[in-house]
Amino acid sequence: MNQRALRLTGSTRVLPGFGLSMGISVLFISLVLLLPITGLFGQLADLSLAQYWAIITEGRVVASYMVTIGAAAVAALINAVFGLLLAWVLVRYEFPGKRLLDALMDLPFALPTAVAGITLATLYAGNGWMGKLLEPLGFQVAYTWVGIALAMAFTSIPFVVRTVQPVLEDLPAEVDEAAMSLGATDAVAFRRVIMPHLWPALVTGTGLAFVRSLGEFGAIIFIAGNMPYETEITALMIFVKLQEYDYAGASAIASVVLFVSLALLLAINIWQGRFVRRLHGGKG
Amino acid sequence: MSIRLENIAKHFGNTQALEPVNLDICEGELVGLLGPSGSGKTTLLRIIAGLESADRTSQPSRIMFGERDVTQVHVRDRRIGFVFQHYALFRHMSVYDNVAFGLTVMPKKERPSNGEIRARVFRLLEMVKLEHLAKRYPAQLSGGQQQRVSLARALAVKPDVLLLDEPFGALDAKVRQDLRRWLRRLHSELNFTSVFVTHDQEEALELSDRVVVMSNGRIEQIDAPDTLYHSPKNRFVFEFLGDVNHLEGSVNNGVLTCGDAYLHVDLSNGPEELLLRPHEVRLAEQASDTCHLPVVVTAISPVGAEVRVELEADWLAKPWLATVRHADFERLAMKRGQRLFAHPRQWHRFEEEPQNTARQTRAA
């Protein structure tokens, strides 16, 4: 009787608190995520379509897209390679100081990005430790787009390591052993057995790193040099517009970054979902 | 292909996983490595496979496959098939691709043509009765099916020896029974040399031509299953191969006493421990002049050919297990809480010194 009464009132969920926790979640997302975005679009309402288009296709701004996307792509690719390597080392081998290295991976998240930017700029400037070594070789890092990529790589490396690491931990060493016992060379085992498992995580991590780099400001601004048309990043363009009290212009440029980031994240999610379904036998 | 191990030892850190071991396995033999966890059986198997390397010791160690010295040969060139306890299937590949893997990674000039690979994979899938599931992914198969895929995958490269690490350990009892029977049949059909690891004595005795019993990194005994069961070389082997009841007490003038229980034995004075198998315990309503072992029935399991009865008494440190025929069970009208007397049909004892493995079995 009791059970039936329960079912009639519709409380058949075993896990309690759905209404409350979902409500708080939605409220939180609205306040922290949706409200600012709405504000952004609100600003855009002041612009006509022609004005909007003029702002986002202005020569200096377009140049900043190129610099930002180019440097972010290079940084993401570098992070894909080295992040994978770091995750591999952290998961597969035992060595003294492993815990420390593991903790160090999160440093870019913990460090204020401006601090990182100033440190990098000091290191790689012509009179810095690294700059002194590199500049005589004709290799200028600070105040070029190489420096921008370097700063981006620094702030976004944890994304790759932290997404690949758990997947790699989940892949038993037995699988490599099985591949080798079947005659596969190390390279073939890596390419045909290990990589297919890591692809989704690696692409997700690299994608996150790329998107993070698109929006990075603090770490880059000190090392970039900020030469118009050459080493100006999009985030700086937004900042410049804000300083001119051109809020609508700043929002217009920001919306471009937002759309590119969202589209990329969505694409990665869809692609990954498809892959994961196959691993779990088509059951989702 | 025969396997010959000479002086194989292995340590991990400070623990000696394997004392120097010698072992000969004949061509076409199915050998079980049996032992409790930590006995070194899996380590030994992995060394045979080349997944671990043996220690360098003062005496040279060698692993021979037939006439081929494979001691320094990498696992990929040893021509072994290895079946893992948890299958280790490639989850992103279909069943077909899993089985074909070993063939497709061969160097170009040795690799069979695509048609040949296809034919061979389907022959193997037919053998493991999974040809209808070739397009499925491992996650869509049951445990038993996955293990069969893993076996087909290992056999695809025509290995010289097949090595199986607790192949049925992760499966439930019914499936395990089926797979065992099926492996036995496959083995006699294809006649490859195989070594498998198990901690299940029943599995080892049922499947193997010979069983290697191991404990603490040592080989305790190597024998055919029936020899092993009927004449265990030492106490460890005896205890590991089945349920054992212990009777501990001190002998004085030919009588072993333990609390209010006693048993006439022809042994010299001193502390003694006698061992009895469950089927060597007879239960009766009366004690006899030479045997007074009062017990209380605490649990009854009437499943199977015989009734398993658990017995307790205050003179027993651990409960005894006895197997009784259904007829006797009914005649004595056994029920929980009933007081009965145990009569050993026969008992065994092992000398304590490890060097002297003298064993006595006496009818009582």
- Mean pLDDT, chain A, whole residue set: 88
Give the C-alpha distances (Å, rounded to integers) separating B72 from A66, B10, B168. 55, 15, 30
Q: Measure in Å the smallest separation between the Cα of B291 and chain A Cα atoms.
A: 56
CB B118 within 8 A of CB B156: no
CB B93 within 8 A of CB B140: no
- Residue A193 backbone phi and psi in degrees, to 5: -110, -45
pLDDT computed for residue B359 by the predictor: 67
Taking only the tens place, the pLDDT of each residue in B222-240 is 999 999 988 888 889 999 9
- Rounded Cα distance, B203 and B225, in Å: 11
* Interface check B91 vs A, CB under 8 A: yes
**DSSP-assigned letters across all residues of A175-244:** HHHHHHHTT--HHHHIIIIIHHHHHHHHHHHHHHHHHHHHH--HHHHHHH---TTTT--HHHHHHHHHHT
pLDDT beyond 90 at A11: no
Contact A183 B157 (CB under 8 A): yes
Query: Which residues 145-204 of A are in CB contact (within 8 Å) with B?
Result: 172, 174-175, 177-185, 188, 192-193, 196-197
Identify the residue among A170, A182, A275 best suited for mutation to test binding to B, counting B beta carbons within 10 A and taking the highest.
A182
Contact A183 B137 (CB under 8 A): no
Residues in B touching A183 (Cβ below 8 Å): 76-77, 102, 105-106, 157
Give the C-alpha distances (Å, rounded to integers) separating B144 from A174, B149, B184. 18, 9, 15
Q: Which of B16, B82, B22 is nearest to B46 (CA)?
A: B82
CB B198 within 8 A of CB B165: no
DSSP alpha helix (H) spans, B38-131: 41-49, 95-104, 114-127
Matching residue, tokens 């090392």: A223
* Interface check B153 vs A, CB under 8 A: yes
CB B309 within 8 A of CB B324: yes
Lowest mean pLDDT among A75-84, A269-278, B85-94, B325-334: A269-278
Q: Which of A65, A64, A66 is nearest to A228 (CA)?
A: A64
> Long-range pairs for B235-238 at CB < 8 Å and ≥24 separation?
B235/B275, B235/B350, B237/B213, B238/B275, B238/B348, B238/B350, B238/B359
| DSSP helix/strand/coil, B227 | helix
Matching residue, tokens 């970054």: A257
Q: Which of A229, A57, A219 is nearest to A154 (CA)?
A: A219
CA B359 to chain centre: 22
- Rounded Cα distance, A227 and A218, in Å: 16
CB B297 within 8 A of CB B338: yes
- CATH for B3-235? 3.40.50.300
Neighbours of B181 (CB within 10 A): 12
- Rounded Cα distance, B255 and B75, in Å: 59
pLDDT band at A281 (very low <50, low <70, confident <90, very high): low
Q: Are strands B62-65 and B68-69 parallel, antiparallel or unpaired?
A: antiparallel
> Burial code of A21-50, b = ≥16 C-beta within 10 A, e = fewer?
eeeeeeeeeeeeeeeeeeebeebbeebeee
Q: In CATH, which of 3.40.50.300, 2.40.50.140, 1.10.10.10, 3.30.2350.10 is domain B245-363?
A: 2.40.50.140
- Rounded Cα distance, B87 and B167, in Å: 8
Contact A180 B154 (CB under 8 A): no
**Domain(s) of CATH 3.40.50.300: residues in chain B:** 3-235
Percent of chain A whose pLDDT exceeds 90: 60
CB A104 within 8 A of CB A157: no
Residue B299: partners with Cβ closer than 8 Å, 6 or more residues away: B309, B310, B336
With a cut of 0.90, is the ipTM above it? no
* Interface check B90 vs A, CB under 8 A: yes
Residue A245: partners with Cβ closer than 8 Å, 6 or more residues away: none
What is the chain A residue with the closest CA to B137?
A281
Residue B338: partners with Cβ closer than 8 Å, 6 or more residues away: B296, B297, B332
pLDDT computed for residue A79 by the predictor: 95
Angle at the Cα of A172 from the Cα atoms of A171 and A173, rounded to 5 degrees: 120
pLDDT computed for residue A6 by the predictor: 47
- Rounded Cα distance, B37 and B187, in Å: 26
pLDDT computed for residue A136 by the predictor: 86
Give the C-alpha distances (Å, rounded to integers) separating A109 from A113, A156, A158. 8, 8, 7
Q: Measure in Å the smallest separation between the Cα of B50 and chain A Cα atoms.
A: 9
- Rounded Cα distance, B143 and B141, in Å: 7
Residue B81: partners with Cβ closer than 8 Å, 6 or more residues away: A181, B154, B155, B157, B159, B161, B162, B163
Taking only the tens place, the pLDDT of each residue in A92-120 is 889 999 999 999 999 998 889 889 999 99
CB B143 within 8 A of CB B174: no
Structure tokens at A249: 């212009």
Which class for A7: exposed (0-12), middle (13-18), buried (19 or more C-beta within 10 A)? exposed
- Rounded Cα distance, A219 and A63, in Å: 20
What is the chain B residue with the closest CA to A183?
B76
Angle at the Cα of A174 from the Cα atoms of B20 and B210, rounded to 5 degrees: 45
Structure tokens at B160: 């010289």
Of the candidates A188, A196, A283, the beta carbon closest to that of B105 is on A188
**DSSP-assigned letters across all residues of A32-93:** IIIHHHHHHHHHHTTS-HHHHHHHHT-HHHHHHHHHHHHHHHHHHHHHHHHHHHHHHHHHH-
pLDDT beyond 50 at A167: yes
CB A271 within 8 A of CB A207: no
Q: Which residues of chain B have pLDDT under 70?
A: 352-359, 363-364
pLDDT computed for residue A50 by the predictor: 93
State pTM to two decimals: 0.79
- Residue B214 backbone phi and psi in degrees, to 5: -125, 150
pLDDT computed for residue A141 by the predictor: 86
pLDDT computed for residue A278 by the predictor: 66
pLDDT computed for residue A284 by the predictor: 37
Give the C-alpha distances (Å, rounded to integers) separating A97 from A100, B12, B313. 5, 21, 56
Identify the residue among A181, A195, A275, A283 best suited for mutation to test binding to B, counting B beta carbons within 10 A and taking the highest.
A181
Residue B162: partners with Cβ closer than 8 Å, 6 or more residues away: B80, B81, B83, B154, B155, B192, B193, B194, B195
**Domain(s) of CATH 2.40.50.140: residues in chain B:** 245-363
pLDDT computed for residue A1 by the predictor: 46
* Interface check B44 vs A, CB under 8 A: no
